[in-house]
Structure 1
Amino acid sequence: MSPTADAARVAAARAGDRHALESLLGDHLPLVYAVVRRALGADPDVDDVVQETMLRAVRHLRGLRDADGFKAWLVSIAVSQIQERARRLARQRTRAAQPIDPGVDEPSDPAADVAALAEDRVDLDRELRLIAQATGFLNPAERQVLALWSQEVAGAMTRAEVAAALSLSPAHTAVRVQRMRARLDLALTVLRALRATPHCPGLGEAAAAWDRTAEPRWLKRLGRHVAACQACLLAGRRGVPAVRVLALPWLLPVPALLAGRLPEIVASTSGGGLGTVAVAVDAARRVVGYLNLKVIGTAGVGVAAATAAVLAVSGTTPPAGRPPAPGPPPQAAPATSAAPASPATASPSPSAPSAAARHVVTAEGVTSADIYVAADGDDTGPGTAERPYATLARAVQVVQPGQVVALRAGTHRPTATVAITTSGTASRRITLSNLVGERPVIDGSALPGGQWLITQTGGYWTVQGLEMRNAPSHAYVCRACRDSVFRRLWLHDNGDTALTLRDAGTQGNQVLDSDFARNHDTVDRGGSADGLAIKNGAGAGNVVRGCRFAENSGDGLDLSNFTDPVTVVGNWAYGNGHNRWDIAAFNGPGNGLKLGGGAPAPAVAHVVVDNASWDNAGYGFTEASNPGRLTVTNNTAYRNGGTGFAFLYSSARLRNNLALANGRDVQVGGGVDDADNSWGQDGWATTVLRSGDPATARGERAPSGGLPPTTFLLNRKDKTMGASMTAGAALAGTGRAAS
C-alpha cells in the first residue's frame, strides 16, 4: 500500500506534535528503506543512508512548503543521500563490483508434476535475486531510477512523485525510466543466457576475460553478443519479466533495529516544541509491523517469527505492506450472545479505547474484541461479550480509534443503511471482524427498496471475514475512504455492485482475497451490477489482490473514470454478463476486467499482473477507451464471448499474456506495444493446457483466504506465459465455494 501524508498531519508535525511526526516517519520508513536498499543493494551503508535521510527530514520539515508533497520531498532527500554517497565513494575509489553467481538455471521439465510447477511459478525470490544481480550492471543514476520506478509499479509512488524525487519533469522522467528498463532487460537477458545449458560457445568466448563482476562496461561487451545471437536471446527470455516481479505491492522489510531508532531520531533532533527523549513503543511497533512482508533479495531472516510476535503483542493490522492472505471463515454454529470460548480478558465498556495488547487480529478473524454484536443482543446494553449489542449500526456509532468490533455468528438483518463515519488513525486502526471459527452474515432483505446495505466514509478500517447478501441495491459503498483493508469478504446476490470504492480521496486501500458473486440489478437490466468497482474518483495506492469476480450481471472489475493507477494482481474473473435471472431485455456488458471508461475516459496507467479471465460474455481484458500507459503482464483470457485482450486506444504495454478460444483473441491499436504474447507466436492452442475444466478454480477457499489450488489454464508449452493460477493458493483447505 502506498503511504500517505495528509496535510493536517504534516501541519501538526511542523507545529511540534511529536506523535504526528513519528506517525509520518513510521508510515514512510518502509518506502524510504525500499528505495535506498534497491539503489544500493546489500551495501552495509544502507541503514546509515536511511537514518541520515530521516534525520534531515526532521531537521528541515519546517521548511517544507507543500504539505501534500511530503512523500516526494522525503524520497528526494533519500535520493540526495544516495547521490552523496556515490560521490564520496567515487572520490575514494573504493566501490567493489558486485560478484555474479556462476550457477546455471535448471532446464524446464515438460513432464514435471503440477505441485512442482506451481512451486516454481511462485518462487519469486529467485527472480528477485537475479534482478539484484542485474542491477550491478547499471550505473548509479540508473540504479536510482530503478529504485523509484520499482515503487511506482508496485503502487507505492506515482509517476509525478518519482519525477519530483528526481527533480525532473514527468516527460524527462519517462525517458530516464525507458532507458533504465532497456538496460535492465538487457542485463537480465545476459545473465539468463550465461546460466543456460547448454552454454553458447560464442558467449563463452566473449566472457573469457570477464572476472564475474557486474559492471556497466561488461554489460556493453556481453550485450553486444547476446543481441546478435538467437540462441542467447531465446535463453534470456525464459525468466519472469522484471515488471511482473516488481509490480507486486511488496515493500522491503525494515530491520527492527533501524525501526526502533525512530523515536530517538525524532527526540534527538526535534528541539523546541517537539518534546524530550521518551520511549515511543507504539511507533516502533507500528514500523516493525512492516516486517509482515515477503523478503526481497537476501535481507530479513526470521521475518515470519517476528511478524507473529508483533501481531500477538499489538493485535493491530499493519497499515501497509503485504497482509497475510485472508479467506472466508468456516461455517459456524448459530448465533449466541455467550462470550468466546477463551477470551483474553473480560471486555471493557466500549466507551473507552482498550489497550492494543488485548486482542489478536489474524487473517482468520479476531480472538477477542472491545465491542460485540450478536443477533439476539440488546442495543441498550454495554456491548460486551456477555451483553452484546443487537445491531452493527450501534457498534459503529460508538466505536473509537484503536478498537475491535466482533460480529458474532448468525444472520444479522439491518432495517436501515449502516453508516460508518468514524475514522481510525495510522497507529490506531479500527477492525470489524468475525471471531475465529465463526461466520457472520449480514442480510439486506429487510432494507427498503433502493437502500444500500453499508456505507463508509471513515478511514483506517480493516473489515474482514463477513458475508453480505440480498441488499436491494449496493452492498458496500466506501466514499473517499483511505488506508482501509477489505479482506475475506463474500458479497453475493445483491441488487447492484457488491463493493464500490469511489470519490476523490480514495487512496491506499486494499481489497484482498474476497469473492464477489452473482450480484445483479433490474433497474438497468443487468448493466450496472459489478463485482468490484473502483470508479468515479481519484487516489493513489489502491490494490486489488487474490479476489474472484464471478457471475455478476455487469462486469467483474470496473475501473471506470478513476484517475489514479490501481494495482490489480492475481485475481480471477469468470462467468460475468450472462442472464441467469431472466431479466427482460438484458443489458449486462459482461467484461472480466474493465480497466477504464468515462466520457471521456481518463488516461490512467493501471498495473494488471497475473490475472485470469474466462467464460465472460464480453471482453476478457479491456482498456475501455483508457488512453493511458497500462502495464498488462502475465494474464490469461480464455473462452470469453468477446475479445480476450481489447486495447485499441491506449499506449499499453502487453507482455507474456495468453489468449485462447475467445471470440477474438486480441485487438490492439497502433500505440500498443504487444511483443512476446501468445498471439504473436506459433503453436498456441487449447491442447497445450493442462486442464480446461474450471471446477477446481471455482471451489472453496482455505480459512486463511487463499485461492483454491488448481491446474486450470496452466500450460505445457511455456510456463512463463499467462497467469500462474497460484496467487494466494499456498494454503488449501475447506471453506465455501465462490459460486
Structure 2
Amino acid sequence: MRQSTGIERDTELVLAARNGDPWAREQLVTAHLPLVHTTVAVAMNGRHGAEHVEHVVRETMLRALDGLPALTDPRVFRPWLVAIAVDGIRRHRHQQPAGYAHADGTPGGRWPGHGPAQEITEAARWLDPDDGELLALWWLECAGELTRHETAAALRWPAEEAPARFEAVRARLDAGRVVAAALAGNPACPFLGREAADWDGRPSAPWRDHLAHHTLGCGHCAPRWHALVPAEVLLSAASPVRAAGADEAARGRAAASAAAPTAHGFAPDAYAAADAAPYRAPEYAAPSATAPLGGSAHEHAADLTESFVLAGQAGHGRPHPPRSAPASAA
C-alpha cells in the first residue's frame, strides 16, 4: 500500500495542475503512466496489438487531465485514474472485436512478464475477455499498489463483493496456468494432444475449459494442479507497476532526442514522440472518427467512483495476505 506521503504529493500536484501549473501536470503524467499502462496492458490480455494498448492509455490520461477541475477530492486521484482506465478498457472491448493481434496467438501489447509474472501473463491469455480488468486490479492490490476499497471503487463494486469475484477469476486463472503448462510440457501428454487436435493455437476460454477438464482426470496432467503456487504469491512477488516504470524510463531515454516540446512544456516519454498531440487535455474535444474510443473526454463524469472511494476511506488497509495453500481445481 502506498504511504500517506504519496497521497499528499498527489494531492498537491492535482491542486497545482487544476490551477494551470504545467509542471504539475507533467509530474502527474510521469508518476502515474506506469500504473495506467500496467492496468491497460494486463486487462487487454494481449488480445489486441500494442497500438490499441497505447491508444487506451493515451485516452485515459487525456480524460483524467481534462476532468481534474471536477475532481472534488484530490486525495482519491489514484483510484479515480484507475477507474477511468477501466472505463476506457470496457469501452474499447465493446467497440473492438476480441482477437489476438498475431496469428500465432502471441500477445500484441507490452506485458510486465518477468520472473513470476511470466506464468501469470501466459495464463491470463486463457481468461474470459471481461476478466482482464479484474486480474489487473487484483494484481495491483496483491502488489500493494491499491487497497481493497480502491480496487472495488475502480470496478464500481461494493467492497464486500470483491472476494467472491476475485475467487472466481482465480479459478479460471489457475485453469489457464495448468493448461498452459500442460501444453508446454516435456514430455507432452499424448492424450492432451488428441484433445487439442483441432485447436488453432489461440488461447480462449472455451478451449481452456475443454482442456482443463482433461487435466483434472488425467494421470499425466493432474499433478500440475497440486503443484500450483498460490496465485497471490506470484502476483505479490513482483510489482507490475515498478516493472512498467523501469520500462517507461528506458523508453523515455530512448525517445528523448526525438520528442519535441509541446504547448504545455512537456512530452511524456515515448508517447510524445509517437503522437503529435500528447496529453493536451484542454485542446482535446473528441477523438477522430477512426479512434477506438468514441465520445468526448467530457462524457466521463469526474466523480465516476469518488463516492465509493470516500465511503471506504475508514476501511482502507493493506491487501489481504497470500493464501498458504494452492487453490483447488476449478
Q: Which residue of 2 aligns with 1:35?
A: 39
Q: How does 1:279-358 map onto structure 2 within 5 Å?
A: 279=266
Residue 53 of structure 1: CA displacement?
Answer: 0.8
Q: Which residue of 2 aligns with 1:249?
A: 239
Distance 1:214 1:126, change over 3 A: farther
Between Structure 1 and Structure 2, which shows a larger proportion of helix residues?
2
What per-residue deviation string (whole Å, max 9, x for no partner) do you get for residues 428-460 of structure 1? xxxxxxxxxxxxxxxxxxxxxxxxxxxxxxxxx
Q: How does 1:510-525 map onto structure 2 within 5 Å?
A: none
Q: Secondary structure at the match of 2:68?
A: helix
Residue 56 of structure 1: CA displacement?
Answer: 1.0
Q: 1:148 aligns with which of 127, 137, 145?
A: 137
CA contact under 8 A between 1:137 and 1:187: conserved in structure 2?
A: yes
Deviating above 6 A after TM superposition, structure 1's stretches of 4 or more consecutive aligned residues are: 257-261
Q: 1:125 aligns with which of 114, 119, 140?
A: 114
2:65 corresponds to 1:58: yes
Distance 1:563 1:14, change over 3 A: closer
Larger radius of gyration: 1
What per-residue deviation string (whole Å, max 9, x for no partner) do you get for residues 54-109 of structure 1? 1111111111122211111111111111112111213xx765577468xxxxxxxx
Residue 127 of structure 1: CA displacement?
Answer: 4.5
Q: Which residue of 1 aligns with 2:264?
A: 277
Q: What amino acid is the match of 2:86?
A: V
What per-residue deviation string (whole Å, max 9, x for no partner) do you get for residues 660-692 of structure 1? xxxxxxxxxxxxx8x89xxxxxxxxxxxxxxxx
Q: How does 1:99-498 map onto structure 2 within 5 Å?
A: 99=104, 125=114, 127-238=116-227, 240-247=229-236, 248-251=238-241, 252=244, 253-254=247-248, 255-256=251-252, 276-279=263-266
Q: Which residue of 2 aligns with 1:26?
A: 30
Q: Which residue of 1 aligns with 2:321?
A: 630
Distance 1:98 1:630, change over 3 A: farther
Distance 1:147 1:215, change over 3 A: same
Residue 241 of structure 1: CA displacement?
Answer: 4.3
2:317 corresponds to 1:564: yes
Q: Which residue of 2 aligns with 1:79?
A: 86
CA contact under 8 A between 1:79 and 1:144: conserved in structure 2?
A: yes
Distance 1:220 1:279, change over 3 A: closer
Q: What amino acid is the match of 2:317?
A: D
Residue 219 of structure 1: CA displacement?
Answer: 0.8
Distance 1:37 1:99, change over 3 A: same
Distance 1:94 1:207, change over 3 A: closer
CA contact under 8 A between 1:98 and 1:136: conserved in structure 2?
A: no
What per-residue deviation string (whole Å, max 9, x for no partner) do you get for residues 448-497 of structure 1? xxxxxxxxxxxxxxxxxxxxxxxxxxxxxxxxxxxxxxxxxxxxxxxxxx
Distance 2:7 2:45 in 1: 27
Residue 129 of structure 1: CA displacement?
Answer: 3.3
CA contact under 8 A between 1:97 and 1:213: conserved in structure 2?
A: no
Residue 29 of structure 1: CA displacement?
Answer: 1.0
Between Structure 1 and Structure 2, which shows a larger proportion of strand residues?
1
Q: What amino acid is the match of 2:321?
A: L
Distance 1:126 1:230 in 2: 28
- Using the size of structure 1 for normalisation, the TM-score is 0.33
Distance 1:185 1:17, change over 3 A: same
Distance 1:75 1:82, change over 3 A: same
CA contact under 8 A between 1:200 and 1:231: conserved in structure 2?
A: yes
Q: What amino acid is the match of 1:56?
A: R
Distance 1:214 1:223, change over 3 A: same
Distance 2:202 2:96 in 1: 18
Residue 240 of structure 1: CA displacement?
Answer: 4.8
Distance 1:209 1:30 in 2: 39
Distance 2:160 2:154 in 1: 14
Q: 2:19 aligns with which of 11, 15, 19?
A: 15
CA contact under 8 A between 2:141 and 2:148: conserved in structure 1?
A: yes
Distance 2:7 2:99 in 1: 38
Q: What amino acid is the match of 1:171?
A: E
Q: Secondary structure at the match of 2:222?
A: helix
Residue 245 of structure 1: CA displacement?
Answer: 2.6
Q: Secondary structure at the match of 1:214?
A: coil
Q: What amino acid is the match of 1:58?
A: L
- Using the size of structure 2 for normalisation, the TM-score is 0.69
What per-residue deviation string (whole Å, max 9, x for no partner) do you get for residues 712-735 of structure 1? xxxxxxxxxxxxxxxxxxxxxxxx
What per-residue deviation string (whole Å, max 9, x for no partner) do you get for residues 23-59 of structure 1? 2222111111111111224522111211111111111
Q: What residue ranges of structure 2 are gaps of 5+ in the alignment?
A: 107-112, 272-312
Q: What amino acid is the match of 2:239?
A: P
Q: 1 or 2 for the larger relative contact order (CA 8 Å, sep ≥6)?
A: 2
Q: Secondary structure at the match of 2:324?
A: strand
Q: Identity, % of aligned pairs? A: 32
Give the stretch that moved more between structures: 13-22 or 206-215. Answer: 13-22
Distance 1:249 1:69 in 2: 21
Distance 1:14 1:5 in 2: 16
Distance 1:12 1:264, change over 3 A: farther
CA contact under 8 A between 1:191 and 1:236: conserved in structure 2?
A: no
Q: What residue ranges of structure 1 are gaps of 5+ in the alignment?
A: 102-123, 268-275, 288-538, 540-561, 566-604, 606-628, 632-652, 657-672, 677-739
CA contact under 8 A between 1:10 and 1:67: conserved in structure 2?
A: yes
Residue 243 of structure 1: CA displacement?
Answer: 2.6
Residue 156 of structure 1: CA displacement?
Answer: 0.9
Residue 15 of structure 1: CA displacement?
Answer: 2.0
CA contact under 8 A between 1:154 and 1:249: conserved in structure 2?
A: yes
What per-residue deviation string (whole Å, max 9, x for no partner) do you get for residues 192-241 of structure 1? 12222333333222212112210111011111111223431213554654
Distance 1:139 1:68 in 2: 33
Distance 1:563 1:89, change over 3 A: closer
Q: What amino acid is the match of 2:80?
A: W
